[in-house]
Amino acid sequence: MDTLRVLCIGDIIGPIGCAAFQSNIDRICKEHQIDVVIVNGENSSPRGRGITSRLVRFFKHNGVDVITTGNHIWAEREIYDQLDQLPELLRPANYPTDCPGNGVYVFTCKTGHTVAVINLQGRVFMRENLACPFKTAESILTFLRDKTDIIVVDFHAETTSEKAGLGYFLDGRVSAVVGTHTHVQTADERVLPGGTAFITDLGMVGPLNSMLGLKKEPIIQNFLTQMPVKFSVETSGPVIICGAWIEIDVRTGKAITIERIRLEDSEVSIDSGA
């Protein structure tokens, strides 16, 4: 059976997350014989919100094929004018069409197979008033019908119910639906009955002893006082690297297996990253 192995890495947080990614990605790819690498980079800037064109180059230099994002895509204004020139950097497809950039990317990977990646954002408990991700996915699948059956969806959403709903809605029509946004890896990875690999959330690449990658003390103070505080990225390790790899039958586009990845790196420092 001819197969393709796709690695999906969860939200990469700030310089320390980038450093951990850079230090570990080659080993991960070699160990699991990875053909395609997809990362969520919307938190990779030094502030922990947004992404810059320099970081896009950093990820591409480190073997990333596609960079997905979510609700923080607009946090760094420098990227606005770059999105249309960076097709491998996606913003959620269900943002208005007037927004720069695209939510789907079709490319030929190193094995010669055509792969499509779709980026969508959820609506439940999310601030943005976006188009329906379910209907947007349906429309994109029509566009992809004659292009490829190997399709991976990054669904950047808050609730488990919305993510599971999209997984079942697309079951048998895409190769994988992987969730991002909560920064907490879930233990529910599986291949759905129709052949679509699914996990509610990939998790993050960020400091273990933090709150979703941010310094914990100001957040605790906010809980105690309800007063505004400044959030900042935690800069000390150890760092966890979370994601999942999926093996896909290239003839049918169906997933064969999905396996979680969770590594801990106690040696990484922010001086070794992007």
Catalytic site positions: 72
Return the SS3 of 121: strand
Distance, CA of 65 to CA of 178 (rounded, Å) = 16
Query: Which pair of structure tokens corresponds to residue 68?
Result: 């997905």
Instruction: Please report which residue ranges of the chain form alpha helices under DSSP H.
Output: 14-32, 53-61, 133-144, 160-170, 216-225
Mark 147-179 as b/e (b = at least 16 C-beta within 10 Å): ebbbbbbbbbbbbeebbbbbbeebbebbbbbbb
Distance, CA of 68 to CA of 254 (rounded, Å) = 22
- The β-bridge relationship of strands 114-121 and 104-108 is antiparallel
Tokens 């209907």 belong to residue: 135
Other beta carbons within 10 Å of 138: 13
